[in-house]
Structure 1
Amino acid sequence: MEKVLKNNYSDATLFEVAEFFKVLGDPTRIKIVSALFENGELCVNDIVDVVDVSRTAVSHQLRILKDKRIISFRKEGQMKFYHLDDAHVEVIVLLTITHLNHQ
């Protein structure tokens, strides 16, 4: 009980955690995130090929992921190359997969 009392997270923090998982709760977005941690960096056309959805749908999902700081991009000319914002995202997804596969 003492540990629970020490970690009294604010409602705002808990809301952000819930929002983070809500964003990752979409199958297309999780496919995009998985593709990025498997390949490192991809342009929109490559992401479209990997996740097998329309360019419009990919662009929409990328915007949501970018807004929540799950991914970021670098620009080379007119091309944008997307990558995970930091290694924590990969760890969270891999730990979740490990948890789900745990017997």
Structure 2
Amino acid sequence: MTISVLDRNLTEDVSPRDLGDLHDAAAQVEDELLPCRTNNAELWFAESPSDVEFAKTLCQDCPVQALCLSGALERREPWGVWGGELFLQGAVIARKRPRGRPRKNEVAA
């Protein structure tokens, strides 16, 4: 068996089924309980670090959070907030850094 055959089998098993499972699970819940359906969808793909943190906070009470997160991990989502975590290039990152150069000295909050 060649590597290309293995790769093709992995992608066939992961992507369509997991996103469909998430959609089916979300369909069983009232829209008012799903923050990604009641708020602006662009919030989950925002450029502002404060908006990203707000989206992550909204996900904490979502009834399908675990399914959303596990599916995003399996699909290696390229970016955005999924299941209360921030993804960048298929990996979970702790926080989004603001644009520009970082400060040389820490600023007291």
Could you say whether these structures have the same fold, taking a TM-score greater than 0.5 normalized by the shorter chain as the test? no
Structure scoring higher RCO (CA < 8 A, sep ≥ 6) equals 1
Higher helix share: 1
Of structures 1 and 2, the larger Rg is shown by 2
User: TM-score, length-normalised on structure 1?
Assistant: 0.37
